[in-house]
Chain A
Amino acid sequence: MSVYTTKFGSLNDFTKGDIDVIDLVNDNPKHYAFSNVFEVASKSRPWEKVAVGKNMEYVLEAIRAEGTSEWRTCAHDEFPLCMDGEVTVELVQPDEAHVAADKSGSVAIDGDPAGQPMGRITLRRGHMALLPANAAYRFHADQPSVILLQTILGDDTVERWADICLR
């Protein structure tokens, strides 16, 4: 019986794929915005929210989790997927709203939010969480880890496509 090994990536062990353009007249690697979340996170500052996917207003952000993040909140749900390492999420129900209801993407909160503790989640590779709308949250990672965040383009989303994509 065959034994199969599932190959996941990590900050320290990833092998990026490639694009072989055959139709050099009509196609271009830039059309695919091809990057790798581990490569992006390996070159990012802690908690930098680097877009690796964008579809109109929606984005996927690759985040290097290292140390403790600032507190943030968002008017809509967001979903972090831990791609490598271990990340703890702390959630608070703020006493007052920190973000306008029609604001897209998350915003930073100055200091610690006053409010009711909601709970805590520890994510390891492959784990996905709900960051519920209007909750305050912060992440913590003892060791460099990687989050892929499903969210909407916000003021703190970093777009540096030319640096991260195959060309």
Chain B
Amino acid sequence: MTTTESAQNTNEGIIASEPNHEGYREYTLGHFHFRRDEYFAYVTWPTGDHTLSIDDFLRAMQRDVAWDFFYGTVNFDAVVGTINHYGTVDLFAGTFNEIYRKAERDYLENFESSVIRETFKAMLDDWTIDGFDPFASPAETDKPFGVKAGSNTEAVTRRRVAAHRMVGVPGDEQIRTDATHPINRMFADVAQDEPEVHAEPGFEDRVVAFNLFAYLSRSNVTWNPSVVSVCKDSLYCPTTEEYILPIIHGNDRVEWFVQLSDEIRWVVEDRETGVLRSKVTMRAGDVAAMPGDIRHQGYSPKRSMLLVWENASSELPELIRTGKAPVYPVEF
């Protein structure tokens, strides 16, 4: 590979090659190297290498970029992923894989968030071809395979929806309509009526309501929590889920799920080793916590509505790490 720093990207610290045989750039981040061909992404580091389906890789990369590395660990699969330290990010290989660790083949490198963010954004944009949308369900997008053929920048740079108070409040995120968000094929039966709101003059900005289920029925992405209401650090982050969560999320705090519709099956593993702990099946109305010491991946056979409830306090990871806050939600 001929490694060059792209002139236009030098300021962001991106190290990218000229397009390779398949038309894609290769990227170097510290001692990690990333390459794709028609079917696979190849990740190498000083003590090993790993191959992922490009489909899986781009779906995981899309979430990591869009969520700005999220809360805790984003495992692309059982080997590669990132850990968010909220200012810096670890890129790792084998760190949460017992066999890699025993063989001393695991590797981890820390980067300023801005450096890894810009490199990942550039890689995601370059490696996503025309017609493929990493946020869409597999049934609603073209395939990511083949040689470089166009791009889909609009899809991979979606603005993340984050209400400051509540969707529908004047000046905040607004409800979705046919003009921009048609109802998803799997939610065609979801009622679209809006609440009856009668605000007295002068109180129009405080007497507010919206149809959350209709709002979610119009989501054009999957496995992408977005904030709809904010009570201090308590964030309602509902999302619509179909097929498989493209990452395995390792918690650095307790996270709660409320299944609003249909069913999701969660596979819960030990965060550090990946050893299976439990399988959790959630149906409409079920509420469950994901403890602070696990990682989880969901399977949704039909598009479903999931309310992810987060405590966004920046103090929580350290409190849990030092044992000052419990990894389990309640004692009883």
Contact = CB atoms under 8 A, between A and B. Distances in A.
Residues of B in contact with A, size category: 35 or more
Interface in A29-53: 29-39, 52-53
A54 B331 CA distance: 11
Interface string B265-282: 000101000011111111
A9 B282 CA distance: 12
Q: Please indicate which of the listed interface residues B234, B236, B259, B280 has the most CB atoms of chain A within 10 Å of its own CB.
A: B234
A6 B3 CA distance: 51
A103 interface: no
10 contacts: A20-B278, A26-B270, A30-B328, A31-B291, A32-B289, A36-B285, A36-B286, A77-B231, A130-B169, A165-B332
Interface in B197-238: 197-200, 203, 206-214, 217, 228-234, 236
Interface of A: 3-9, 14-23, 26-27, 29-39, 52-56, 58, 60, 76-79, 81, 83, 89, 91, 93, 116-130, 132, 135, 148, 150-152, 159, 161-162, 165
B311 interface: yes
A121 B231 CA distance: 20
A27 B280 CA distance: 12
Nearest to A52: B287
A14 B190 CA distance: 17
B285 A9 contact: yes
A70 B145 CA distance: 60
Given A23-B278, A53-B309, A148 B332 contact: no
B276 A35 contact: no
A121 B196 contact: yes
A12 to B, nearest CB: 12
Contacts of B1: none
Nearest to A11: B285
Contacts of B331: 161
A30 B185 CA distance: 37
Interface string B285-316: 11111110000000000110000011101001
B91 interface: no
A3 B188 CA distance: 9
Contact of A55 (B167, B208, B214, B309): B309
Given A55-B311, A58-B311, A81 B285 contact: no
Contacts of A124: 191, 193, 195
Given A23-B277, A31-B289, A152-B231, 11 more contacts: A7-B284, A17-B280, A21-B277, A29-B278, A37-B258, A53-B256, A119-B200, A126-B211, A129-B208, A130-B165, A130-B169
A162 B332 contact: yes
A36 B283 CA distance: 9
A80 to B, nearest CB: 9
Given A37-B285, A53-B309, A56-B313, A130 B166 contact: yes
B213 A53 contact: no
B13 interface: no
Given A8-B260, A23-B275, A121 B233 contact: no
A126 B309 contact: no
A54 B313 CA distance: 14
A4 B285 contact: no
A95 B253 CA distance: 41
Contacts of A27: 268, 277-278
Contact of A161 (B194, B234, B332): B332
A129 B195 contact: yes
A72 B199 CA distance: 19
Given A77-B165, A130-B169, A83 B285 contact: yes
A152 B285 contact: no
Contacts of B197: 119, 121
B277 A119 contact: no
A126 B191 contact: yes
B227 to A, nearest CB: 12
B49 to A, nearest CB: 31
